[in-house]
Amino acid sequence: MTNLPAIAGWNWLREGFALFFKRPWQLIILFATYSFFLFLIGLIPFLGQIIPPLLTPAFSMVIMTACAQVDQGTTFDHLLLRQSFQPPVMQRLLGLGALYVLMAFITIGLMWLFVGGDLSPLSTIDAKTLANNSNSNQSWVLLVIAFFGLLYVPLFWFAAPLIVWRQSTVGKAIFYSLFSVLRNIKAFIVYFLSWLVVGAILPSLISVMLASLIGLPQLAVAALFLFSIVLTIVMYCSCYTSYKHIFSTPEQLKSTM
């Protein structure tokens, strides 16, 4: 496990974009297929709200494995792409997904406590409300969401890759994910600050420029939607590059080279 300098966080993002542009259409098609399956599952009454989070670790590893194969310059090996759905890896990833659901319920429960059992005010959160009432329940809810969001990152960032590529148990994967993120906390701070610029500020600027130059707000919204898809795939690619720099290239991929 490598201890990296702060600039590594920017390199992960930069290399993530480089990976995407090596095979953009193949990655987009794979991601669209994955999203379509989750959409269909989401249509199932009641279970459609629970099953997608359970399957998210497995499906996300399909994308990350594809990113790893792009990095190694090999064609997509569908046997490797399906390794997330083979026992005992699948059972462990389902357990990780169950923890996703559990943490989400804990967050919702704490939000429920802070707003006195009424979650309807969350739909009307805006900057003006928070500025006029910094002690409001809405402010506390946002703090709770931010706290748990920060807590989720070190716990789960490398958990799924460690389960698939190092055959770790769920507990061991979460432990090493937490340890590796904290050990490279400076790099992760730079990484997420870079994403703040690339993933939040830059798309807003692009949409405003397109709307003003073309005069078609709908086209700007469509372009922003496509850009968000690209950024999501790049996130998976950069997650792989961060794994590669800290834990090295997955052994299964080395064996196919």
pLDDT in single tens digits along all 257 residues of the chain? 677 899 999 999 999 999 999 999 999 999 999 899 888 988 888 888 888 889 999 999 999 999 999 998 888 877 777 888 888 999 999 999 999 888 878 877 776 776 555 555 555 544 444 445 444 555 555 666 666 667 788 999 999 999 999 999 999 999 999 999 999 999 999 999 999 888 777 777 777 776 676 666 676 677 778 888 899 999 999 999 999 999 988 865 654 44
What is the pLDDT at residue 145? 65
Burial of residue 145 (number of CB atoms within 10 Å: 0-12, 13-18, 19+): middle
Phi/psi at 250 (nearest 5 deg)?
Answer: -55, 135
The pLDDT value given to residue 143: 64
Q: What single-letter amino acid sits at 122?
A: L
| Cα–Cα distance for residue pair 154/187, rounded to 1 Å | 13
Q: Which two tokens stand for residue 229?
A: 């898809």
Structure tokens given for 110: 């704490």
At residue 170, the pLDDT reads 95
Structure tokens at 41: 């599952």
| Structure token digits, residue 191 | 């990484």
Most distant CA pair in the chain, distance: 60
CA 6/CA 76 separation, integer angstroms? 32
Say how far apart CA 113 and CA 141 lie, in whole Å.
9
> For the chain, what is the radius of gyration of the CA atoms?
20
> Coil, strand or helix: which one is 216?
coil
CB neighbour list of residue 87: distance below 8 Å, 6 or more residues apart = none
Closest CA to 54 of 117, 107, 101, 115: 101
Locate 25 and state its tokens: 């259409």
Q: What is the DSSP letter of 136?
A: S
| Contact assessment for residue 53 and residue 104, using Cβ atoms and an 8 Å cutoff | yes
